[in-house]
A and B are shown apart, each in its own frame.
Chain A
């Protein structure tokens, strides 16, 4: 659990982060969104004390993060940044092994961890371990950057626009991979982005910041249905609202008994994708199948539209 309690940071007499309080539950993904200059990166950097706050307190699992030296704190917290920040003079394996070495793991344990992480990120350990960062593609560099952040098995992972430098297709893949990894390790993630699609895709809870203040912190559908301010509504995007609602849930949630004609839709795709499929093929309903091909009833256009409807 990460408790951010009345945190303020002042630069040149101006509050960059202004009395922000929020609590992030363990094993969840919290995404901080906001325009540039909203203070979201500064807030993130105060969690691992790359920036020291002027007021307030941050507790990790109940413990004030100022009780140990900053560098020791940072070794316990994963940190991944845009443009990966890999060390160009070290191999992929050496890059990933950086923190385990700093905290004194022995060679075998470190090597096993490097291998495990590379495999988890779908990189062949024998092939990629000895390579240098400049020999990798952008997507591969980014995965190694996240693998390095996770090497010492941190409970908390901080990510500052980690996918900002990737093209849309690789970015979508990287986001899915991150969710899988997060499930695998149960890591608590705080991620900063200005990409609302990314926020809705990844977040259990979204924090919207503007001019240093926290405007709203809640689950994605709460932001869509009950935006706290006009700014939050604008960030969500008024014309995007129905699709945002649909994009958050899977088809399986809306499957109902019955049958329908035409090619089936997988239960795991988002409701937004299902709506697109029905609109494209001119059907009012489609059969739903589970990933192993088992029939799961059907999904109807009506149910989807009902689900996408806003509050009265």
Chain B
């Protein structure tokens, strides 16, 4: 076989697989806070499962190395990821000593590295197919359905993260909804304020520098400092404005978290609205006016639709940023997934940190894919002939 037949990414994948396969696949700890002992694939699983998993991994690596077609790459990557998901659950059941409720089994370096490697291969396969926005959403829904099915099947019940979840099931969902309210609510407020503000900045150039510079300064304030700054004014509002306390406004808690997320969101929203409107072709504006559109009609029918992809990009930035930042809200009692992260850090319980971190990462990933698809659906092909 000629060397040019070997795929470069495939070579990287084989190297990563070789390293990952020799790393521990799962960790067993006698309780949730002590150091654990690593187990490689052969010792973490019953012999036939270990053999099956290693075979699937080896076959998929060969495909990555020798086949350039998108579909075999995607299918083999998906097969490995499903096998990894299934067998990490089996490893947890296999390694946990019988009748021991203190022991914890968690995925270890080898598992995460393999997952990352084949996620890379899957992403490569998908990007080679150049799927349209609808197709990408279908892939996303499929992946989410597989993970949901595994979660519901109880396959992961013996994993340490799920044991942390099991004792906090109620709190988990209330913190999840709090997290979403913080991230989405502050986004909605930022859109409601930022887009009109962006329109004003675009129409009245004098306001632009002042608004954008102010928002730039807000953006540079560290989040913890911003919480601190907000305590006094919000506390005053709660104490002196009639009805504010009844609305739940406090110096600490969810209110300052919401306000901080909102303030951080304003810069990307305003800046992208201004950039989007500034990118509207001069001839289109000129024609819209010359043809007899009123100022409002020009904004709604021509300028805003043409600026929409850039504005949506701003919304995407804000949403992903807010989902991540909302974890910080837990520091001042604002709730959200950050609650588990900071509790876990306090207890040196990594599994509890993961219970907060994994859903946050997942949520951010899902929103990024969904909004990218939306942006694509609203864009016009850039190939524009002007001659």
Interface positions of A (Cβ within 8 A of B): 48, 50, 71-76, 79, 81-89, 98-99, 102, 132-134, 136-138, 141, 145, 148-149, 158, 165, 167
Contact = CB atoms under 8 A, between A and B. Distances in A.
Contacts of A88: 281, 284, 306, 380, 384
Contact of A141 (B290, B292, B380, B385): B385
Query: How big is the B interface, by class?
Result: 20 to 34
A135 to B, nearest CB: 8
Contacts of A75: 291-292
B283 A74 contact: no
B381 interface: yes
Contacts of A98: 291, 293
Interface string B351-381: 0000000000000000000000000000011
Contacts of B385: 134, 136-138, 141
A89 B291 contact: no
B384 A102 contact: no
Q: Which residue among A75, A88, A132, A134 has the maximum number of chain B CB atoms within 10 Å of its CB?
A: A88
Contacts of A74: 289-292
B294 interface: yes
27 contacts: A48-B290, A74-B289, A74-B290, A74-B292, A75-B292, A79-B287, A79-B291, A81-B290, A85-B281, A85-B290, A86-B284, A87-B287, A87-B302, A87-B306, A88-B281, A88-B384, A102-B293, A132-B381, A133-B384, A134-B380, A134-B383, A137-B387, A141-B385, A145-B287, A149-B291, A158-B290, A165-B387
Q: Which residue among A82, A87, A132, A145 has the maximum number of chain B CB atoms within 10 Å of its CB?
A: A87
Q: Which residue among B290, B293, B305, B306 has the maximum number of chain A CB atoms within 10 Å of its CB?
A: B290
B387 A167 contact: yes
Contact of A99 (B283, B292, B384, B386): B292
A204 B294 CA distance: 34
A85 B287 contact: yes
A138 B292 contact: no
Nearest to B382: A134
Interface string B291-332: 111100100001001100000000000000000000000000
Nearest to A72: B292
B308 to A, nearest CB: 9
B162 interface: no
B170 interface: no
A165 B286 CA distance: 16
A88 to B, nearest CB: 5
B290 A50 contact: yes
Contacts of B383: 134
Contact of A148 (B281, B291, B293, B380): B291
Contacts of B290: 48, 50, 74, 79, 81, 85, 158
A81 B294 contact: no
B11 interface: no
Contacts of B306: 87-89
B288 A87 contact: yes
A148 B289 CA distance: 13
B286 A134 contact: no
B292 A89 contact: no
Contact of B294 (A71, A84, A133, A148): A71
Given A71-B292, A102-B297, A86 B381 contact: no
A86 B290 CA distance: 12
Which A-B residue pairs are the 8 nearest by beta carbons?
Answer: A85-B287, A75-B292, A74-B292, A79-B290, A85-B283, A134-B384, A138-B387, A83-B283
